[in-house]
Structure 1
Amino acid sequence: MVAGYTLVLVILVLGGLIATLGDRIGTRVGKARLSLFKLRPRTTAVLVTIATGGVISATTLGVLLAADQQLRDGLFRLHQIQDDLKQVEQQKNEAQTELSTARTQLERTQTQLQGADRNVKAIETKLAQINRNYQNALAKLATAEQESRTLEAQINDLKGDRGQLQAQLQQAQTQVAQVRAQAERLRKEGQQLQTGIAQLEQVRGRLEQEIGQLRQGNVAIRREQVLATATVRAINSTDLARQAVEQTLQEASRVAGCLGQSKGQPELCVNQSSPTNPNPPRVRISSTELNNLVNTLSNGRDYVVRVLASANYSSGEPEVGVFTDVTPNRLIFPTGAVVAQIPLDLGSVDEPTILSQLDRLFLASNVRARQSGILADPLTNKVGSFSQVTLVQFVEQLQNLKGAVQVQSIARRPIYTAGPLEIQLVAVQNGEIVLRSS
């Protein structure tokens, strides 16, 4: 506050001094009848007075701008401050919108969780009520049977009142039939519950058996291991689709038998020359899944069918449970598409370093192919292979080049979901291919 008063006082004093000085200068100019720029003396005096007023205004504005930072900001940075204010307001509104959305989602999740808790409690209450009804029915059955025996004894003792006793007996028998029907219904519900418990016990026993096999190390086929893969192309007939499925299941049975003989070494079962089993295990698949698979394959599209083991199996088991995975066989990489690439400075690396970098290129190509949807080989778990002889020749030719290059792996032919990934190595320098593997 004091600084403001001081500033006003300084401006008034300075303005008075400059005005007085300008008046005296104008008076002297007028008396001396001076002429500037060949103007008349009176016009020159007016011009001096105008200049003095301009100096007063400029001095006042300069003092204000020099003394007050906020005035400078308001005069020169007003538009920027307004833009910053609008941006801050917009960020504030976006943050409030995101907060409101997060709160709404949290409330929805809490509502769903409360509904699930209520359903669980209702099921538990219903199960407890069923158990109580079952016990009550058993008690009523025992009471009714006791009443039936009592009535039969009364009939033997009171044959004279036979008609009345027969009516009472029929009534009792009706009650017994009703109670027995209710007891039978509850008994069936109890059997269903016991069946469910028995199935759970079987699953638990199977899991314990698989755990024991894993600990003993004698598992030949592991859960979800791919036993066979087949590419089915444009089948419009159910019979042809069923035939293709049966051939794929036969191949899965052969591979399962091979894995059992080779102690779970997949590389020994890649082709038909691998050890064969005269009595391969039978492949078990549900009829519903089999029919669904046939219907899917007969719609005229290309698919890749994989048969996978549904559990762990040891050598010599007569039956192997499987399930199928069906994937549309679509184009992943057209011919010449770049799968992966690495930079390589040939002036500062030796042959082992080049081989190491190319191994990294192969690994990147394998990862890119898997992420793009190419299925791995069912036994080797690889998406493709590359000739070692071709690799050595490419490295020898690569060492003859100089400078920095980009080594790329490109698709040799159109690559589909079924694979395999067949690639060719090329070296690109200054945007042009300077070397290509055979």
Structure 2
Amino acid sequence: MAGYVLVLAVIILGGAIATVGDRLGSKVGKARLSWFNLRPRQTAVLITILTGSLISASTLAILFALSRELRDGVLRIDTIRRQQAAAEQELAQTRAQKDEIEAELAQSQIELANIRQRLSQTNRVLEQAVNRQTLTEAELKQLQHRYTQAQKNLENFEAQGARLRREIQRLQRERQAIQGRLEEVAGQKAALETAIRTAQQRLAEVEAQKDRLRAEIDRIQDQLAAANQQQQVLRNQQRSLQQEIAALEASRQRLEENVNILLLGLRRGTIAIRTGQVLASAVIQNVKDPDKATQVIEELLREARRNAIVLNSPQNLQPTDQVIQITTADVHRLRSQISDGQSYVVRILAAANYLQGESNILVVPQVARNQQVFREGENLATISLDPSQMTDEQILQRLDQLFTVSNQRAIASGVLPDPVTGTVGSFRQIELVKFVLELKDHQGTIDISAVTPTSVYTAGPLTLSLVARQNQRVILRSG
């Protein structure tokens, strides 16, 4: 509605000025006035030109006064075009990164599907093994029951054998006692001997059956032990596959978060905070209480808020404005991880690129075990050079290569780098120049090593000392 009123006002004002100019020109023509020694006709033309210029000037003045966007667009068009070109280039780079991450996400999903298929196969094998174990346990119970019955029968047979032995002994004593009546009891003796042989045979059969049952029980116990061992192996495989699935699921979630972060970064303007920029960091140790962990996290977020305000300078900021935004899941995960009493390095990172003046900044925590990576005096990298045959620039280039290799080794060993610069430390330029100047005083091949003067931990930073040796003798050492 305001645009229509503006256009209507410009039209009315132009008509009014044109009418006044026409009447003024007519009066000047009739009065035959002459300005600046011009003819009356030329004076009328001059008044008409001035009237048209006044119309144009008033129109532009009204437009510039009522439309800040039009004024900025006309006066800052070159700057806006340059910003637009830079933003379009950054948009193209971000889209390329998005395509790469989406490709990695697709590959991770394929691997996750393969792992799930392997887990399904393992579960089927485990189920079959469990079924076999169930059948084996049932058979074992049956055999144990049979063994128990056999033991009971054996005990009964042993009791009968004992009674028969006592009866044989008694009969033998009677036989000796009635030796004189042998002929009379010959038939009874034969019957008793037959009974004795029968009892002895039954006792031998029971002993043999007991041995067979014991052998069968031993064989079944061996089978059960083998089945238990196979079941344990399958369970270990299942736990390993479940851990792989959990790792791939976490990787998938991180990739999805990175895609969302890249989508948040597709904006235009002056970037004040970049993706992955460290807004706060601290080394946390000996925290065993969740409440204490919550206090530590809140202090880190307050430090991140202060740094974000300094970097971003949000407009119309109120003391109660949060500025920093973090998900509840990230806070819970961070609190549970640092509450075990061990030493951790925790950093609060910007989740995306944020433009100058933005007041809602999403952050993500980064946590890692803070442990010793390098001992004091450990050599990270070594180069050889002859300073007498090289210029200062060439020596500096070789030392820069030494720092690059040391930086890569530190990152590979576990020192956390700056997510924006990719470095884990810096070397003072004045010390470097001083070292190069002193190095130029020597001739011949010299070995220069990058050595850690103190112990280096995961939190960093990596500090280095340059040590120059010639013929295994230290000839120079940086401050």
Structure showing greater relative contact order (alpha-carbon pairs closer than 8 Å, 6 or more residues apart): 2
